[in-house]
A and B are shown apart, each in its own frame.
Chain A
Amino acid sequence: MNEMLDKPLPRISPDTKPFWDGCAQHRLLLPTCVDCDKPHLPPGPVCPFCFGDQLEWRPSKGLGQISTFTVVHKAWFPSFAGEIPYNVVQVELDEGPRLSSALVNMSAGDLSIGDRVSVVFVELGPMTLPYFEKS
């Protein structure tokens, strides 16, 4: 557990706090523009498409596909050294935005771009992070 606690935690800003609060409730929330209806990531203070100020947090279905990935073989973080080689993915949600994450229960050779995935939530110390698993 100490090893888990040593992993870097996400930084929380006023713009991203609702996202992480949603994860704690096992909900993947996307900041969505009330004016143009488009969701975006990473969470920002305004809509990057129409520059509107009115955003609301709408639930994502948590489904998407792997748009790219890598497998890390180098021990940059001591807290990840025991997991080498481990995967990191970018997931394109069906709603459009992409986020970085990782697949759970996945051996590194089994990853392909285009694989369908769905969100799962994993506790990391005091926080809950979105991970994905193959659908």
Chain B
Amino acid sequence: MRTRVLPKAAIVGIGCSPFGRSLPQSQLALGAMAFKAALADAGLQRNDVDGLSLHLGWPLGSDYDRYAEAFGLDIRYVNQTWLHGRFTAQTLQSAAFAVASGMADVVACITAVSFTRERGFLGGPNDVEGNREEGGSHGESPPYGLTAPAGGAALAMQRYMHLYGTTAEKLAAVSMTMRHHASLNPQAILQKPLALEEYLGARMVVDPLRLYDCSLINDGAVVVLVTTDERARDLGQKPVYISGMQGIRAGREEFIFAPRGMGINQQSGVRVPARSEDLEIFASAGLDRSDIQGFYTYDAFSPLVLFALERFGYCGVGEAADFVQDGRIGLGGALPINTSGGLLAEAHVAGWNSIAEMVRQLRGTAQQRQISSAKALHWGTSWGDGVILTNERRA
């Protein structure tokens, strides 16, 4: 039995810059817009922030000390992750640890990207990660022309389709649902609905991934402010509690963009249904999976949604492509996913656009996208980490 996470941390402010392609502003300027919006949302002042948890630092983004210098902050706690988008939960968890331990009072989780200017880092000759001594961690193989995270997602989905008979027509449901959600979201980049014919007719990028299986490449920033549950009660917004957590999984049975054991890289090829250690996030929140009213996940590539669903046992091994059919993951369905449109249709802000959406949902301010009486939402990824957010403190 896993120990409960003591819900001592809460999200008290969210702020977003505009999201778009080739925005004129610098990363820091987008970050400043989001930071100011988050402070105003929380009713906090800049000087209240004494911790930074920075997602996407070098080589894609600015580092923590530049933010502190540029924004005139005085910081006593820092966490920073590097290039990858995978660290959404870790960045938020680190903020929760910091305020719960007293190392900081208010931590700003900052993510600011200018992917349209920096896309060279995402694959090709300037992919410094793929070309380093131990290579990249998405299955990159530059001497054979395989680069970029998309390559790893394609290797995994090809095998998944072989094992379970999944078709492109079924996979399409993920991208089409995200586009529907984005059509209800005025800040989303792709608000036009996606028809099956358009999905199937789009160019192949890295087989079996077509254009609309791949996330947006855009610019934008999101800032999320975290403080203690005690302080949260005295602030302007209804607190959203960080009530459950589970960390990133790694090892020879793991590959970042595949279910455990599916036979990518050195995975054994032996898949098993979600085990208790894969599901500890629910126990850590004192909740059952059936209490979750919405699932939010890192949909950089549409297959990652399938893999995340199987990771957390929302369906069985090989069943996710069927699970996502018939409106089940859309608003009004049994398990709405990425209700603001995710990385596929709202914006690629490394998942923080979805964290902000979870907060809106739990405050009851998601307007036409509102999940009725949302109480518990789950952020979980194909690499097995996650966070459960709730609208009440789970004492």
Contacts and interface: CB of A to CB of B under 8 A. Distances in A.
A11 B133 contact: yes
Interface stretch (B2-10, B260-268, B327-335, B379-387): B260-268
Contacts of A71: 204, 206-207
B268 to A, nearest CB: 10
Contact of B154 (A9, A10, A70): A70
SS of B interface (majority) = loop
A100 B146 contact: yes
Interface string B154-186: 111011001000000000000000000000000
A10 B141 CA distance: 8
Interface size class of chain A, counting residues whose CB lies under 8 Å from the partner chain: 35 or more
A78 interface: yes
B18 interface: no
Interface string A2-18: 00000111110100000
A76 B145 contact: yes
Given A11-B135, A71-B206, A98-B265, A88 B159 contact: no
Given A68-B263, A88-B145, A113 B162 contact: yes
Nearest to B258: A68
Contact of B155 (A13, A70, A83, A124): A70
B145 A77 contact: yes
Interface string B80-124: 000000000000000000000000000000000000000000011
Contacts of A59: none
A60 interface: no
A11 B162 CA distance: 32
A108 B139 CA distance: 20
B158 A78 contact: no
A77 B124 CA distance: 5
A106 interface: no
A11 B139 contact: no
Contacts of A48: 252
A69 interface: yes
B151 A72 contact: yes
Interface string B267-282: 0010000000000000
A89 B145 CA distance: 11
B66 interface: no
Nearest to A48: B252
B105 to A, nearest CB: 43
A70 B207 contact: yes
Interface in B188-245: 203-208
Contact of B158 (A10, A74, A113): A113
Interface of B: 123-125, 131-135, 139, 141-148, 151, 154-156, 158-159, 162, 203-208, 252, 263-266, 269
6 contacts: A8-B143, A67-B269, A71-B204, A78-B125, A90-B155, A114-B162
Interface of A: 7-11, 13, 40-42, 48, 67-74, 76-78, 80, 83, 85-86, 88, 90, 92, 97-98, 100-102, 108, 113-114, 124, 129
